[in-house]
Amino acid sequence: MFEIGVFHNGASSLPVITTKDGVAVNDGTLAEVHAAAQEVIEVAGDVPDLWVPAGGERLMSLLRKWDEYAAERQRTDDQLREHLRSLREEDVPPLISD
């Protein structure tokens, strides 16, 4: 199975483009999107007010599980999706406030 994710630009330093369906997404190669996502995880890890509300420990635990237990990857994929879908913008304070 090969899965492609589309990440909304709200948590990235990459430029934004709008799809034909009107969804704002990152404008970059898969490698650039991956690097930008890692940057976001690093920033969130450095700012306790972001890490806890964003479920950082749970996310990292699931990512380690995915790496370590190949036989359970389908179940871990489902758990990752559930975790990420449970996050709401209003649960996480802005890194930079006006």
Tell me the C-alpha distance between 12 and 40, whole Å: 7
Percent of the chain with pLDDT over 90: 3
pLDDT given for residue 60 in this prediction: 82
62 and 42 share one domain? no
Location of structure tokens 């190949």: 70
DSSP state of 8: B
pLDDT given for residue 9 in this prediction: 47
4 and 43 share one domain? yes
Domain span including residue 5 = 1-47
Q: Is residue 68 part of a domain?
A: yes
Q: Is residue 17 part of a domain?
A: yes
